[in-house]
Amino acid sequence: MIEHAWLREIAADIAYTPSYMAEELPISQAIEAAQQFVEVFDTLDTSVVQKTFRVLEDALRDGTEQEKDAAATGFLESVLSAWDRGFDLESIWQHVGPESREYCIAWNEFTGVPTPEWMRSIDVGSG
């Protein structure tokens, strides 16, 4: 069973089902969901991408601490990791909300990853 409502809301859209290993672990579920999102991204309608990051933003802004941790540590860090391996994060950045962008930039700074100018632009991220 998927633990958090925000993750349940996007799971069907990205064809995500938790593995046996992640069944009871919300952060692991978010990691797997992000990996699935990246894997199927090229097949997703723009509305699904927008919904994914809107729901994620809502969790970061209004969720419980556990939901915020799963959204940030699980989903966002996994998407950033995929970017390190070649995923085109810039193509979806316009859909990433302000709390999510702030987290991603802070994570880059914490890990020593240079943050490109397009990530810092205030013109993107309207969702």
* Position 48 in a domain: yes
Type of residue at 64: T
Q: Which residues of 63-89 are buried (b: 16+ CB within 10 A; e: fewer)?
A: beeebbbbbbbbbbbbbbebbeeebeb
CA distances to 1, 34, 45, 80, 123 from 77, in Å: 22, 9, 22, 5, 22
Per the listing, tokens 């990246």 go with 38
Print pLDDT tens along the chain (127 aa).
777 788 888 888 888 887 766 566 788 899 999 999 999 999 999 999 999 999 999 999 999 999 999 999 999 999 999 999 999 999 999 999 999 999 999 999 999 999 999 999 866 444 4
With contact defined as beta carbons under 8 Å apart, do 125 and 97 qualify?
yes
* Position 47 in a domain: yes
Residue 66: give the domain boundaries. 5-120
* Position 13 in a domain: yes
pTM of the model: 0.84
Number of domains in the chain: 1
